[in-house]
Amino acid sequence: MMHVVSEAKDPAEGDIARLRTTVQALEREVAQVIVGQDLVVRGVTIALLAGGHVLLEGLPGLGKTLLVRTIARALRLQYSRIQFTPDLMPADILGTNVLLETQHSQSRAFQFQPGPIFANLVLADEINRATPRTQSALLEAMQEQAVSIGTTSHPLPQPFFVLATQNPIELEGTYPLPEAELDRFFFKLNVGFPSRAELGQIVDRTTGPRVEPPTAVTDGASVLELQEVAREIPVASHVADYAVRLVLASHAELPEAAETARRNVRFGASPRAAQAIILAAKIHAVLAGRFNVAFDDVRRVVLPALRHRLILNYEAEAKGMTTDRVVAELLSAVPEQAS
């Protein structure tokens, strides 16, 4: 578990410049394939540099799968796609022990056959179409970067990211994700419908000559190095305290609770939310050209870090309240400077 206040040495300017240059190159390659969705692309980039997983929500056909595949190619990562369906079983994701007969000794032994989870970048497509049991098969992999089969733990390749797509819960044939699994996602990003101009560009690109695949801008080893650079970015204690107070304000039962939390929230955000906010704010600051984390960096990353970690109460759901609106009210209620 990372500390909220960074005590690491300041990163070298060369490392910071390399991080920023790599992100610019990655986003430039993605823009050759994906039209618009700049905030979504930036959110995914921040999560990857933080070593976190991302949940992408949007209607079918908005390019979520294409975005993940493009990033995998640009980063030269081993890519795996899992199509979640109601009949998908945990072993279909994780792998299983298979009884094999050896040719020479004529004996039999169990051998582990890894599943599609053993990749650097795993696309869990339409994750909420599988049953909760199968969805929960990802929990250990996302948290521990390993998979346990029987009594044996199998480490996953590094780096390891899960980018999951889900359809809006109102669509037929969907299951809500368990709260424990939602909390493992660093960000939840909403993929909106394109504008008229963007839709025109999409049609031009997809019905004309085939677009060249993205050029690789770095590799998995460099991604791991850049993750360490991101963690070394310093954050002042009063800025970190702002993130902590925002998380505490989301808990209706705590003295620090904001009024919107008392009225609308059944379960507030977990400590992972504070960790995600601080780490994302560090990366946001660097990509904005600064070496210090400001209050504005925290505010810019709070929504994707909190929207999936707040559980609304029945009254809030009945009156059509959304977690996005609650987060906006939290930002209005919690002052940047502690009193």
Same domain, 150 and 299: no
Neighbours of 267 (CB within 10 A): 15
Rounded Cα distance between 52 and 333, Å, is 28
Count of domains observed in the chain: 2
Burial of 136 (0-12, 13-18, 19+ CB in 10 A): middle
DSSP 8-state symbol, 159: S
The conformational region for residue 197 under phi > 0 = left, psi -120 to 50 = alpha, else beta, is alpha
Q: Are residues 174 and 311 in the same domain?
A: no
Residue 56, classed as helix, strand or coil, is: strand
Q: Which residue among 200, 216, 232 closes a domain?
A: 232
Same domain, 23 and 141: yes
Note whether 306 and 260 are within 8 A (CB): no
Last residue within a domain, chosen from 209, 232, 255: 232
Q: Which residues constitute the domain of residue 311?
A: 234-334
Quick one: tokens of 198? Answer: 């963007």
Place of tokens 């004529």: 106
Tokens of 119: 């990749």
Local confidence pLDDT in tens for the 339 residues of the chain: 444 444 445 667 777 888 888 888 888 888 777 777 778 888 999 999 998 999 988 777 677 788 888 888 888 888 889 888 888 888 888 877 777 766 666 666 777 788 889 999 999 888 888 887 788 778 888 888 888 877 778 889 889 999 988 877 655 556 777 788 888 999 999 887 777 887 777 777 777 677 777 778 888 888 888 888 888 888 999 999 999 999 999 998 998 888 999 999 899 899 999 999 999 999 999 888 888 899 999 999 999 999 999 999 999 889 889 999 999 999 999 998 876
Evaluate whether residue 301 is within a structural domain. yes
Gap between the Cα atoms of 93 and 272, Å rounded: 25
Amino acid type, 325? R
Provide the residue type at 29 as one letter. Answer: E
| The two structure tokens encoding residue 299 | 């505010």
Phi, psi for 256 (deg, rounded to 5): -80, 5
Within this chain, do residues 36 and 51 fall inside the same structural domain, yes or no? yes
What's the CATH number where 284 sits? 1.10.8.80
Domain check: are 216 and 250 in the same one? no
Q: Which helix (H) or strand (E) covers residue 297, if one does?
A: helix 295-306
Q: Do residue 180 and residue 322 come from a single domain?
A: no
C-alpha to C-alpha distances, 161 to 3, 48, 53, 122, 176, nearest whole angstrom: 21, 7, 5, 6, 21
